[in-house]
């Protein structure tokens, strides 16, 4: 069985960026997945929240940025002008055709370590191939998070927002959207604009809206007080965006806390005027029960309570469908392509269930590399966004090259002397 130097599982922004860097370094790289799948399947009308200049996929020469693709389409990728998500998906496909070897669209169903240190990669049709190293760039879909009380009602009465590709079926129906982030607020707006009776329920006491971004070119004082970053303006965002490597060295409890709280739920500035179309907004509320309702059991009865635990009367709401825009939980127990025994042995960031990774994005299993959302608890909020792909891609590929060199290095002969001191020799404790 021929072993590829690197097999990449996933063909979204992170997988494609890693592949572009690996190919440029001359590695024998193979990419599996449907290019930009989750982005292509978002409902029509959704817009990219990140600024165009913060949404580039990464190639070593920087030749295939979003602005370059926009120019081929006769458009400009302008600061402060949101682009359609569909346009961004087309950009990713354009990038793949130019910077990445041919992508195998088959889904990988298993990645199993071999006794010799390599891996066996199995695709959905049962074909097995060998790999010397593997990079999992799984995107967000394996990690969708839905409150436990709603899961028994999926998929007919409850959906996660990321599972929906077309909202037109909800026109004229009563729909309840859970959450206070961009996915929840934009989904609610699109539903209302389609004629659905839309309700938003969120634990937050207030909705947070991003402010209109200041001009890229500003006075020196304004730029110093609130510098632009790929994650928004401000010095804290600057730290998250520019120094993920520093974030990785923080204590586990600190990283867990920041992953849960940094860059919390907020709506895009351009969505706020349109949100007036959503007339039923219930803040400071959480769902404590959900049961089938209606004569045929095809509706949902939600019991809502005060989100802070204050003793107030509960409220019941009956709705046709619930859309949980409740985020993602990047945990190893959801990485089903890895055998359970491998998942159990990987080091994690505290008790989060998320994997720890090295300075080159290598997990504690040699040769197994990780990219994207799965590394956000280790490296910080930048890895929740396309922006983090540039930081990840080059470093991960250098880690792959180091691992490949280590495999080629001949084993030491017992009793032989070497002119090189062992690592750590002569270093005082």
**What CATH number corresponds to the domain at position 9?**
3.50.50.60
CA-based torsion, 394, 396, 401, 406: positive or negative:
positive
Q: Which domain holds residue 31?
A: 3-143+328-408
pLDDT the model gives residue 310: 59
Domain's final residue, options 324, 344, 361: 324
Domain's final residue, options 324, 347, 369: 324
Residues 108 and 198 in one domain: no
Distance (Å, whole) CA 60 – CA 56? 12
Residues 336 and 278 in one domain: no
- What total of structural domains would you count in the chain? 2
**31 in a domain, yes or no?**
yes
Residue 415's region, left for phi above 0, alpha for psi from -120 to 50, else beta, is left
Cα first-last separation, the chain: 46
Residues 82 and 153 in one domain: no
**52 in a domain, yes or no?**
yes
pLDDT the model gives residue 407: 80
**255 in a domain, yes or no?**
no
**252 in a domain, yes or no?**
no
Q: Which two tokens stand for residue 59?
A: 């190639």
Residues 175 and 283 in one domain: yes
Residues 288 and 159 in one domain: yes
**61 in a domain, yes or no?**
yes
Residues 11 and 90 in one domain: yes
Residues 63 and 98 in one domain: yes
Residues 22 and 133 in one domain: yes
Residues 79 and 54 in one domain: yes
**249 in a domain, yes or no?**
no
**223 in a domain, yes or no?**
no
Residues 292 and 170 in one domain: yes
pLDDT the model gives residue 373: 97
Residue closest to 108 by CA, chosen among 9, 28, 13: 9
- pTM for this prediction: 0.92
Residues 281 and 355 in one domain: no
Residues 154 and 194 in one domain: yes
**217 in a domain, yes or no?**
no
Domain's final residue, options 295, 324, 353: 324
pLDDT the model gives residue 424: 35
pLDDT the model gives residue 423: 35
Task: List the chain residues with pLDDT less than 50.
Answer: 412-429
Residues constituting the chain: 429
């Amino acid at each position: 069985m021929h072993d590829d130097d690197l097999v990449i599982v996933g063909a979204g922004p992170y997988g494609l960026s890693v592949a572009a860097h690996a190919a440029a370094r001359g590695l024998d790289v193979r990419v599996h997945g449907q290019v930009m799948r989750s982005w292509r399947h978002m409902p029509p009308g959704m817009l990219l929240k990140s600024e165009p200049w913060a949404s580039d996929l990464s190639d070593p020469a920087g030749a295939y940025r979003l602005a370059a693709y926009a120019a081929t389409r006769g458009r400009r990728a302008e600061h402060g002008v949101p682009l359609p998500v569909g346009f961004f998906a087309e950009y990713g496909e354009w990038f793949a055709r130019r910077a990445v070897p041919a992508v195998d669209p088959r889904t990988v169903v298993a990645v199993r370590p071999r006794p010799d240190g390599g891996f066996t990669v199995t695709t959905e049709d049962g074909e097995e191939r060998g790999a010397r190293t593997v990079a999992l760039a799984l995107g967000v879909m394996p990690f969708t998070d839905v409150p436990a009380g709603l899961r028994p009602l999926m998929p007919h009465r409850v959906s996660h927002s990321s599972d929906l590709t077309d909202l037109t079926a909800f026109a004229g129906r009563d729909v309840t959207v859970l959450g206070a982030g961009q996915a929840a607020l934009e989904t609610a707006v699109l539903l209302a604009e389609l004629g659905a009776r839309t309700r938003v329920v969120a634990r937050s006491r207030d909705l947070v809206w991003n402010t209109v971004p200041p001009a890229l070119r500003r006075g020196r004082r304004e730029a110093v007080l609130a510098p632009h970053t790929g994650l928004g303006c401000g010095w804290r965002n600057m730290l998250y965006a520019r120094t993920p490597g520093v974030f990785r060295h923080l204590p586990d409890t600190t990283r867990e806390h920041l992953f849960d709280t940094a860059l919390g739920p907020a709506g895009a500035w351009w969505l706020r005027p349109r949100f007036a179309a959503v007339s039923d907004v219930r803040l400071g509320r959480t769902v404590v029960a959900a049961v089938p309702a209606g004569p045929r059991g095809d509706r949902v009865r939600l019991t809502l309570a005060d989100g802070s635990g204050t003793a107030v009367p509960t409220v019941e709401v009956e709705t046709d469908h619930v859309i949980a825009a409740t985020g993602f939980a990047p945990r190893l127990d959801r990485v089903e392509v890895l055998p359970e025994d491998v998942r159990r042995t990987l080091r994690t960031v505290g008790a989060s269930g998320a994997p720890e990774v090295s300075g080159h994005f290598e997990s504690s299993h040699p040769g197994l590399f990780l990219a994207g959302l799965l590394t956000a608890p280790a490296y910080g909020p930048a890895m929740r966004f396309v922006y983090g792909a540039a930081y990840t891609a080059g470093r991960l590929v250098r880690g792959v090259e180091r691992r490949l060199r280590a495999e080629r290095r001949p084993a030491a002969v017992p009793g032989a002397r070497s002119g090189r001191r062992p690592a750590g020799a002569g270093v005082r404790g």
